Amino acid sequence: MPTLEFKGKPFVYAHHLSVPFRELRIDAARSLPGPAGPSLDDNLIIHGDNLEALKALLPRYAGKVDVIYIDPPYNTGKEGWRYNDNVKAPGLREWLGRVVDEEDMERHDKWLTMMWPRLKLLRELLSPTGIVLIHIDEHEEAALSMIGDEILVRGETERYGTIVWDKGNPKGDASGVACQHESLLVWGPEKAGGYSPAFLRPKPGAQAMLAAAARFRADDPATAPARYAEWVRGEATLTGGERPYNRIDHAGDVYRLVHMGWPNKKRAPDEYFAPLRHPVTGAPTPMPARGWRYPVATMRRMLGDGAPVIEPDGSVSMGEIVFPADNDSQPQRKYRLKDNLLENVPSVLRSAASDDAFFAALGLTFENPKPARVAQSILGWVVKKDALILDSFAGSGTTAQAVLALNKADGGNRRFILIETEDYADTLTAERVRRVASGVAGAKDATLRDGLGGSFTYCTLGEAMDLERFFAGDGRAPAWERVAEYVAYTATGATLNARDTGPDGYAGEAGGFRLHLLYRPDPAWMRSNDAMLDTATAERIAAAAAGRPVLVFAAGKFMAQKALTDLGLTFCQLPYAIHRMLGVDAA
């Protein structure tokens, strides 16, 4: 795969590894809690540097994010964005820290050094079946496409393509081609036969087609097929993928016919030439020149074991296969519309939507907000209705509104995680979500006026999980839950799959290990004998493990290593073992 070289790439190539883990701290006063109160299992709005916030999410959410939906700075040279990520090289750090402007010929390199480590961490958070959606315009589309492929296309993820968002309004200040579009770059799980079950859109006219067919059948079942076919021919709003569904079968289902010949130019293997006989006459049917599309076993399954049925047009249905009445042409496969309500997402999205009036009703201002209607359409193409959606360039909070609106519309249980670096994370990003959840007076949309419902927990970033904090006596020691998630991830590369705690510091399982953590955010306790692993505790832990591998994190131990080995326990001393696992010098 081609790669893109840029100034600073050698310095930021593995920079995400040196970003410190920080504690996610709940700010209850700024939260909009659900019935159970503020929780890291609720929707999240995180205020803090988005690189450090992404790293802070790893112990809890690595490999669990279903959708990454981001709208990073487009790098037009007019945004004034600045991300100084404290790369160790002093020269590069100073270079990264300059404000980016359109006269700076190195601004593209700076933008890439900003995006690279963030995409690296986003990739670690993405689930094996996750979707990545990134808005961008012409300034960095080519560069983002290349580094996106380099970072994201591995394992079970592949590039889906680019969706062109036609905004219907050419840029008036363009010096060359006046662009009236932006792009949405898409990556997702490996497809089977060009089809992705994870990212599809509803056929726009499908419900109208089903309703029309039902209406004609209610009027007169005998004339319904002809009337429905005539309606399809005259309905200008139907797409090319919908128009072939122009038939009604004996059961009232709308369907289309699909050719069953071998799809490639070369001849099919011999097993694809088995004769197929007409279910009424018993005569062999005409065979495609290059063979059937399906092997014998599949054809038998498609035929089923029921009796043949005469369709309204005289053809004969046998399971999923339709035979012509005269047997002069090849049989075809029946595709019912009710079983094919979704279709591949097209490469063009046309929308000139604007949220100017909505922001006026909110009483808030934000430059160039992404229209919620567009975000809702795009996120609605993600088939999973309980998806966890992460936006690490949250801006005004459009993604959260789109998620809440989708849940309101279809009863889904999607969740969002927003990360916003700027100081308006509370006064704009979170405030917008508070308003749309409870209702926006003056909004044109009745649903927004009534409120979308929902809740969120507002978080900030605590201090780094460094050596000193574990024994800090000034309230800086991290909470037991955060340490448990942290040591599980740093030791195994996996997140804890159990939230219930148990005796002897049991925290859950991760990466095939049971994990026990003897820790309290109390320096006196950490220096006491209670924080040490002794023989009685080790024997109880081993008995509960029943032969499964165990990691025990504690400040020290009162037993020999041989005894631990005999019990099948691996001892990890706090906090030094964490740094050894991370490959970081504790000093």
User: Taken in order 108, 113, 116, 122, is the CA torsion positive or negative?
Assistant: negative
Q: Taking the mean position of all CA atoms in its chain, how far away is CA 333?
A: 34
- 130-163 pLDDT, tens per residue? 999 999 999 999 999 999 999 999 888 999 999 9
Torsion of CA 259, 265, 267, 268, to 10 degrees: -50
DSSP string, 263-330: SSSSPPPGGGG---B-TTT-PBPP--TT-BSS-HHHHHHHH-SS--EE-TTS-EEETTEEE-TTS-S-
Please tell me the distance from the alpha carbon of residue 390 to that of residue 169, in angstroms, as a whole number: 29
Task: State the DSSP string of 354-397.
Answer: --HHHHHHHT---SSPPPHHHHHHHHHTB--TT-EEEESS-TTT
Domain range summary for the chain, segments of one domain joined by +: 9-200+345-461, 202-343, 468-582
Could you tell me the two tokens for 546?
A: 């029943």
The answer to which of 97-111, 337-351, 392-406, 453-467 has the lowest mean pLDDT is: 97-111
The SS3 call for residue 514 is strand
Look up residue 8 and give its amino acid: G
Average pLDDT, the chain: 90
Mean pLDDT in residue range 357-370? 89
**What distance in Å separates the CA atoms of residue 418 and residue 323, rounded to the nearest whole number?**
54
How distant, in Å, are the alpha carbons of 198, 202, 241, 329, 436 from that of 344?
Answer: 10, 9, 10, 30, 31
The owner of tokens 């700010």 is 27
Distance CA 512, CA 524 (A): 33
pLDDT in tens, 312-336: 999 999 999 999 998 889 999 999 9
- Tens of pLDDT, residue by residue over 205-261, are 999 999 999 999 999 999 999 999 999 999 999 988 899 999 999 999 999 999 999
Inter-CA distances, 277 with 274, 284, 294, Å: 10, 4, 15
In this model, does residue 125 exceed pLDDT 50?
Answer: yes
Q: How many CB atoms lie within 10 A of CB 148?
A: 21
Residue 410: Cβ-neighbour burial (10 angstroms; 0-12, 13-18, 19+): exposed
Architecture of domain 9-200+345-461: 3-Layer(aba) Sandwich (3.40)
